[in-house]
Amino acid sequence: MITYLYWLLVLALIAGALYMLGLKLKQWKYALISGAVILLLGTGAYFFHFQQIFVKRYGGVMSIEVPEGQLHLAATWKDENLWIENYDPKTNTCYFSEYSRGNLLQGRVTLKQCNPLLRQH
Among residues 120, 117, 104, 119, the alpha carbon closest in space to that of 70 is found at 117
Lowest mean pLDDT among 45-49, 90-94, 100-104, 108-112: 100-104
Q: What is the pLDDT of residues 27-84, one digit of tens each?
A: 999 999 999 999 999 999 998 888 888 888 888 778 888 999 999 999 998 887 889 9
Between CA 105 and CA 113 the distance in angstroms is 26
Query: Are 85 and 73 within 8 A, CB to CB?
Result: yes
Amino acid, res. 106? Q
Task: Tally Cβ neighbours within 10 Å of residue 16.
Answer: 13
pTM, full prediction: 0.68
Between CA 4 and CA 8 the distance in angstroms is 6
